[in-house]
Structure 1
Amino acid sequence: MLPAPHRLRSGSDFAATVRGPRQGSRLIVVHAGASDARAGLPPRVGFVVSKAVGGAVVRNRVKRVLRALVSPRLDSLPLGTDIVVRAKPAAASANTPELAAALDRVLPAVLRRLPTPGGTP
């Protein structure tokens, strides 16, 4: 479980983050967002696992695995950053090391695409 300050909760926060830069793989898509209003606050992470991934049991398993994989990586996320991890249908049949490898590939790539605080990308 992610600590409460690190959870992305409101629909408007999810929507704003999904409009930001994204990077994907066969298993997941990671969206990132940062705003000046959140500068200095801890990073927040949200997860989207649709019914296309599978039934409730499969969706919850994928979400639990992704949450467990993101948790130790929170310290590497910049302050004030919002991240949404969206599982693709192929994530249902992926094992934990495959999801970890996809996250390790995609997360740094999307963070590089975030605009810098000065306003230049």
Structure 2
Amino acid sequence: MLPSGNRMRRRDDFTLAVRRGRRAGRPTVVVHLLHPGDADAKTPPLVGFVVARNVGNAVVRNRVRRRLRHLMRPHLDRLAAGSLLVVRANPRAGTARHDELAADLELALDRLLRPASKGRR
């Protein structure tokens, strides 16, 4: 479970991260990350989850959300203070095994957190 201080709750934060953040996709998840402009060392990184109806019924969606929250906790220390991260589940996440979901989330995060090369934005 994510600590309460790291959970994204405001709609504006979700919108800002999805529209302005960098994106990395995998078959089961898409991750949007917005690095802060002026990082306040006191502001923790915020993480939010979007699991739409096309993933499955309410039971499946809640299971996927719980799995993603559990998988995201060890990666919090990798995020800069003030970062906004949104994890959006794709329809395949509803039937994915736990290890498959973990691998896709880790690969997407690795892609977003590695230093950008000079030739790409």
TM-score, normalised relative to structure 1: 0.88
Q: Identify the range of structure 1 (44-53 vs 72-81) with the bigger mean alpha-carbon deviation.
A: 72-81
CA distance in structure 2 between the partners assigned to 1:72 and 1:102 by the alignment: 15
Q: Which runs of 5+ in 2 are unaligned?
A: none
1:38 positional shift: 4.6
Counterpart of 1:21?
A: 22
Q: Any idea what SS the aligned residue of 1:35 has?
A: coil
State the number of aligned residues.
115
Counterpart of 1:12?
A: 12
Percent sequence identity over aligned pairs: 48
CA distance in structure 1 between the partners assigned to 2:115 and 2:84 by the alignment: 13
What per-residue deviation string (whole Å, max 9, x for no partner) do you get for residues 20-67 of structure 1?
110001100000112235532211100000001000000000000000
Q: Any idea what SS the aligned residue of 2:53 has?
A: coil
RMSD: 1.6
Counterpart of 1:107?
A: 109
1:113 positional shift: 6.9
Do the aligned partners of residues 8 and 38 (structure 1) sit closer, same or farther apart at CA in structure 2, a change above 3 Å counting?
Answer: farther
Partner AA of 1:92 in structure 2? G
1:1-121 alignment runs, 5 A limit: 1-19=1-19, 20-40=21-41, 41-112=43-114
8 Å CA contact 1:21, 1:113 repeated in 2? no
Do the aligned partners of residues 94 and 80 (structure 1) sit closer, same or farther apart at CA in structure 2, a change above 3 Å counting?
Answer: same
CA distance in structure 2 between the partners assigned to 1:53 and 1:106 by the alignment: 19
Do the aligned partners of residues 113 and 27 (structure 1) sit closer, same or farther apart at CA in structure 2, a change above 3 Å counting?
Answer: farther
Spell out structure 1 runs of 4+ moving beyond 2 A.
34-39, 111-114
CA distance in structure 2 between the partners assigned to 1:62 and 1:109 by the alignment: 22
Do the aligned partners of residues 113 and 51 (structure 1) sit closer, same or farther apart at CA in structure 2, a change above 3 Å counting?
Answer: farther
